[in-house]
Amino acid sequence: MDIFDEIRFIARKTQNPYLKEARSAGQKIMGYLCSYVPEEILHAAGFIPYRLRTVESLGTEKGDLYYSALNCSFVRHCFDKAVRGDFDFLDGVIFFNGCDHSRRMYDNWRDLYRERQAGPGFLHMLIAPHKISQTALNRYTDELSKLVRALEESFGLKITDQKLHNSICLYNEKRSLLAQLFAMRKGEKVPLTGAESIRLVLALSAVPVEKAVSLLEKMIDACQDRNVAKPGDLRLFMAGGCMEEADHMQLIEDQGAVVVADNLCLGARSVHTPIEEDLPPVPAIARRYLTHLSCPRMVNDFYSRSHYFEETIRDFSVDAVITDKLMFCDLWGGEAFLLKSEARRLGIPILTLEREMHGGGAGQVQTRVQAFFEKIANLTQDDA
């Protein structure tokens, strides 16, 4: 099995052989929900951080007993898996107030545990401010200190500054390698499709970080002389929230494009901004996670996202932009509107898509994307 097949195999499974092997050796696994939850603290506590996922979901029938039909399909699929026991191998879950849909998963999972003793007993709600400021940073630092104390008291362990420093160095190395790989898409030769990029980040969030570093080194070697871009392909920037369905991304790319840059939860946001290694660990972690490339939950940071958007379009020679949101995601609904204005200002074509996670609709997506690409081609011919 080559590195691409291995990544594809890990990404499409809820569990994988590396998790099972670690579990057999006595290592604990801690689930989490969002890119604002610091993996370094979980790793320093001796856990393998594991990002909750909807792959292998059988539907939302059981999740819908706890959620409204107006909640996003990610949380309904994810909680459906929790009810079915797919996440019973976890030793705890860290929740986050990314949005009200995901925040409610904490309440629902707590009720599920009380009613059925289903899933892990350790359920912790991590709160992060929705603004970036010194006051917000102090508040978030306090929240991370509370998380450290909760892990220490619940599992009878000690999270020292030295352990945190070691974890910070490991995760910085992982980010650096991933950033190196993503930067290779700046050139005319594009070594990785958008679909492969999603699979890669999804896989890396479900294996021990030491293994993730090893997989990334193999991937960089395999990508040195690789080019997945076909003649005439548009170079795309993708923006959106949670996107695990690599097939959805592949469908978009198959219409005549290759994704070269993004602001996706399983994309650039996971590599942006290293943690400063010479600062006290917890404040340094808080600073990185509060100020890295943000998603629209950060209400006073659109200027930074807009700057990244403009800079990336220029540096990666982007031809067009697609924003892709889940239904009922108000955060990305507002962001798509603002990005449309920015794209017009920059003179770059933009398309907004909306979907249900694992909800089908491939034909409709294909038609809309085809029409969008044909419109760009016609504009290019008119200019010529």
Q: Are 353 and 368 in contact (CB under 8 A)?
A: yes
Confidence tier at 285 by pLDDT (50, 70, 90): very high
Residues 93-102 have pLDDT tens digits of 999 998 889 8
pLDDT at position 97 is 92
- Distance CA(200)–CA(30), nearest Å, equals 20
pLDDT at position 359 is 84
pLDDT at position 239 is 96
- Computed over every residue of the chain, the mean pLDDT equals 94
Residues 365-383 have pLDDT tens digits of 999 999 999 999 887 776 6
Residues 220-279 have pLDDT tens digits of 999 999 999 999 999 999 999 889 999 999 999 999 999 999 999 999 988 889 999 999
- Distance CA(261)–CA(185), nearest Å, equals 8
Give me the count of residues in the chain. 384
pLDDT at position 118 is 72
Rounded mean pLDDT, 283-293: 96
3-state secondary structure of 293: coil
- Distance CA(215)–CA(174), nearest Å, equals 10
pTM above 0.85, yes or no: yes
pLDDT at position 361 is 87
pLDDT at position 252 is 97
The answer for residues whose C-beta is within 8 angstroms of residue 319's C-beta and 6 or more apart is 234, 235, 236, 257, 348, 349, 376
- Distance CA(10)–CA(203), nearest Å, equals 5
In the chain, where do the E strands start and end?
28-32, 47-51, 92-96, 122-126, 234-240, 257-263, 320-326, 350-355
Confidence tier at 172 by pLDDT (50, 70, 90): very high
Residue 318 has pLDDT above 70, yes or no: yes
pLDDT at position 383 is 65
pLDDT at position 382 is 66
